[in-house]
Amino acid sequence: MDRSTEIREFLRTRRARITPEQAGLPPHPGARRVPGLRREEVAQLAGVSVDYYVRLERGRTQGVSETVLDAVARALHLDDAERAHLFDLAQPSTARRRSKRPLAPQRVNPTMYRALDALTVPAMVMGRRMDVLAANRLGYSLFAEFEARPRRDRNFARYVFLDEAAPALYADWEKAADECVATLHLYAGRHADDPELTELIGELSLHSDTFRRMWADHDVLAHATGTKHLVHPLVGELTLDYVTLAVEGDPDQSLVILTPEPASPSAEALGILASWTGTSTTAPSAQGEAQNPAR
């Protein structure tokens, strides 16, 4: 992953989606060669020189101030996730700039396993690159027996784009795939130098035309809450609301909990699935986790 390329393509795609009218600029006489804002129009809206903005869009971000980034974010109508992504790309933290060491393996706190066991609805711990680090039985059972897969393959991006079961599971697979890519882009802003991310993006790009197309859009998305519509092979249609909670101590871990509407057909179907699969987690032993740490 090249940070300069990422910021260039991100800013280019953001300004391409905004018309001068949406930005509050007066109509420009004559034909336009670009679908959205020109670089000079973004510079005007942000209150910086054209040369300065061009350098920023080319990835030359050394010394760029938060004030300028805020102005560019407002000019491009960035939402909160997009603004955070711009700051990550333009101002990687000092610790990340200095460190060339691989990211430390992620480990799930033993207390989290007990918390997962206590939940009677699907739940999982998501890590870097959309890896599934842990889940309760009901969580694993929703997604084609993730628990039985090799650790490397317990990854939602690989599942969505490379597993033949995924299009049948998601009622709107295209939407699920788009959200998956947007989440990966957000992670890439924080960890553009992660070699395992580069490997994952390369693998998905090689094997999925859809992934390549969606990746080129450079959309970003932070999943806090939402709804998943699934067609499970055992119990049929499921509509589940989800909430994503931060895990203290590791900013790259999150707890995802999925719940049905009370007394709904989805709640009944989920109850049937729970009775067939059980609801406990499989917490790795200390020896097993040491041999196969989460990445």
In a shared domain, residues 177 and 66: no
Question: So what's the pLDDT on residue 286?
Answer: 35
Name the strands in the sheet holding 132-135, side by side, starting at the edge strand that comes first in the sequence: 132-135, 123-126, 254-260, 236-246, 225-232
In a shared domain, residues 157 and 21: no
Domain-embedded: residue 44 = yes
Domain-embedded: residue 196 = yes
Question: So what's the pLDDT on residue 101?
Answer: 62
Question: So what's the pLDDT on residue 100?
Answer: 52
How many domains, in total, are found in the chain? 2
Question: So what's the pLDDT on residue 278?
Answer: 60
Domain-embedded: residue 124 = yes
In a shared domain, residues 264 and 184: yes
| Burial class of 196 by CB neighbour count within 10 A (0 to 12, 13 to 18, 19+) | middle
Look up the domain containing 34 and give its range: 3-91
Instruction: Note the pTM of the prediction, 2 decimals.
Output: 0.81
Domain-embedded: residue 284 = yes
CATH number, position 86: 1.10.260.40
Owner of token pair 């910021």:
7
Separation CA 276–CA 169 (nearest Å): 18
Domain-embedded: residue 96 = no
Domain-embedded: residue 70 = yes
Question: So what's the pLDDT on residue 277?
Answer: 76
In a shared domain, residues 158 and 242: yes
Residues lower than pLDDT 50 in the chain: 94-99, 280-295
Separation CA 206–CA 210 (nearest Å): 10
